[in-house]
Amino acid sequence: MCPEALALLLLSGCLDDLLESPFVLAPTVAPSPTQLAPTARHSLLVAGPAGVVEVDGSGATTRRSAAPAQAATAHKGWMVVADAQGLHFGPVPQGAAPFAPDRSLAAPETRSIQAWCGGTLLVLDAAGIELADPGTGAATLSPWAPAPPEALDLALAPGPPCAELLVLTPTRLLAVSPQGSRVLAEHLEDAVAVATDRQDRVYLLAGRPRALVRLDAEGPVRIARAVQDAIDLRFGTGELLHPDDAFLLTTDGSVTYLRVPP
């Protein structure tokens, strides 16, 4: 490990494993995007003011919705889109079909949606972290855990499935459950996204200029610094979206990717 301090996080770290610039999977998918989410059918959803676009592993795109969206995800056969009115649930569309919601829930100011156990989802909104269940009849939304007012992103925590949730603020990373929370990293600078890979390693987009950072037991390791325009981060789910590839959403609406080191 090299001794250089990782100033962007105000924590010690080094530049081992520095990668080249990301490759482009799909250029300018949507203007002014807000969030990126993987699906079980090995594609990515890009949400933003122009709606929701699905990107497959070849880079081909399909517009699923033209209505402004703050976030979107797909889980257990459901697609979920968040807008200013709340959460909208419907079957995952097939072929070129558009998203057709058949139930909705009020969830003000949704910032992030994370797939959870048993077909449920965790939603970060103005009320904190809430458990959303599409159900077989009416969808339900119930409190799950408090969240800092400045929280902006969610991810699955390493460890037993659905025991804890990662909650990111611009300056801290927390592990949260209904029983409480604990700080995993602090003194971050301008953190915007968090994700875990298939080895349960935690990655952040953080710093000025922005970098892709892995949080190792010895401290943070900067993986790539050529990601200044990245605003969201997710890992592939298989097939052409390799699980060892970090997929990035950029400010111009492009989806890029890079292979993380073992």
pLDDT attached to residue 66 = 96
Give just the sign of the alpha carbon dihedral 124, 66, 76, 103.
Answer: positive
Considering the entire predicted model, what is its pTM?
0.90
pLDDT attached to residue 20 = 58
Q: Is beta strand 140-145 parallel, antiparallel or unpaired with respect to 128-133?
A: antiparallel
CATH 2.60.40.10 fits 5-259, yes or no: no
| Burial (CB count <10 Å: 0-12, 13-18, 19+), residue 101 | middle
User: What distance in Å separates the CA atoms of residue 13 and residue 256, rounded to the nearest whole number?
Assistant: 25
CB 233 within 8 A of CB 195: yes
Summarize pLDDT for 58-91 with one digit per residue, the tens: 999 999 999 999 999 999 999 999 999 899 999 9
- What mean pLDDT, rounded, does the chain reach? 90
User: What distance in Å separates the CA atoms of residue 7 and residue 220, rounded to the nearest whole number?
Assistant: 10
pLDDT attached to residue 136 = 67
User: What distance in Å separates the CA atoms of residue 193 and residue 204, rounded to the nearest whole number?
Assistant: 6
Q: Is beta strand 43-48 parallel, antiparallel or unpaired with respect to 51-56?
A: antiparallel
Query: What is the average pLDDT across 194-201?
Result: 96
DSSP-derived 3-state class of residue 157: coil
Total number of residues shown for the chain: 262
Query: What is the average pLDDT across 45-59?
Result: 97
Query: What is the average pLDDT across 153-162?
Result: 93
